[in-house]
Amino acid sequence: MTPPAERRLLTPEEYRQAQASPEFAELRARFRRFAFPMTVAFLAWYLLYVLLSTYAPDFMATDVFGNVNVGVLLGLGQFVSTFAITHLYVAHANRRTDPIADEMRERLEAHDYAPGHGGHDRAPDHGVSTRKRSTRD
């Protein structure tokens, strides 16, 4: 949140460098390894619930205790799983992705990914060395 960093806009080359950096690959992998399987899981669980309600109403109407049947419990289960996944996602983001994103944002604001930054040459092939530098921290 440091406004002065906005004085110089990031160049396309900086975005390319940042995207190609190993820390960005790690950030993307951490994000996707959580979000994608979790999306598949909750959609599958939701569709299972919908299909059971549609094609197995007798099973859903089985009483478990009192007048509370399997359908009501599975329905409430959808609420519980939604709250639980929300909580897991926030914990994952805080612990696993935010630190990398925060650090990369600071370095981007400092134009750390610009070619030739920090005494490096402007030659394109030196992008590699810039990237290596990036991994150290």
Partner 1 sequence: MTDVLAAESATIGEPALNIAIFGAFVLITLAITFRASRNNKSAADYYAAGRSITGQQNGLAIAGDYLSAASFLGIAGAIAIYGYDGFLYSIGFLVAWLVALLLVAELMRNTARFTMADVLAFRMRQGPVRTAAAISTLAVSLFYLLAQMAGAGGLVALLLGVSGAVAEAVVVVLVGALMIFYVLVGGMRGTTWVQVIKATLLIAGAGVMTIWVLAQYGFNLSALLGGAAEVGTDAVLRPGAQYGLSDTTRLDFISLALALVLGTAGLPHVLMRFYTVPTAKAARTSVVWAIWLIGIFYLFSLVIGYGAGALVGAERIAAAPGAVNSAAPLLAFELGGTVLLGIIAGVAFATILAVVAGLTITASASFAHDVYASVIKKGDVPPNGEVRVARITAVVIGGVAILLGIFALRAGLNIAFLVALAFAVAASANLPTILYTLFWKRFTTQGALWSIYGGLIACVGLILFSPVVSGAETSMFPGVDFAWFPLRNPGLVSIPLSFLLGWLGTVLTKERPNEEKWAELEVRALTGIGAEKAVQH
Residues forming the site for partner 1 (CB under 8 A): 1, 3, 6, 10, 12, 15-16, 18-19, 24, 27-28, 31, 34-35, 38-39, 42-43, 46-47, 49-51, 53-55, 57-58, 60-61, 65-69, 71-72, 75, 78-79, 82-83, 85-86, 89-90, 93, 97-98, 101, 104-105, 108-109
Tokens encoding 42: 């909750």
Pairing of strands 63-65, 68-69: antiparallel
Tokens encoding 78: 């959808």
Nearest to partner 1 of 59, 132 (CB atom): 59
- What is the phi/psi pair of residue 65, to 5°? -145, 140
Nearest to partner 1 of 66, 119 (CB atom): 66
Nearest to partner 1 of 79, 125 (CB atom): 79
**Positive or negative CA dihedral for 34, 36, 40, 43?**
positive
3-class secondary structure, 136: coil
Nearest to partner 1 of 1, 119 (CB atom): 1
Report the C-alpha gap between 134 and 18 in whole angstroms.
9
**Minimum distance from residue 102 beta carbon to partner 1 (Å):** 8
**Minimum distance from residue 128 beta carbon to partner 1 (Å):** 17
3-class secondary structure, 116: coil
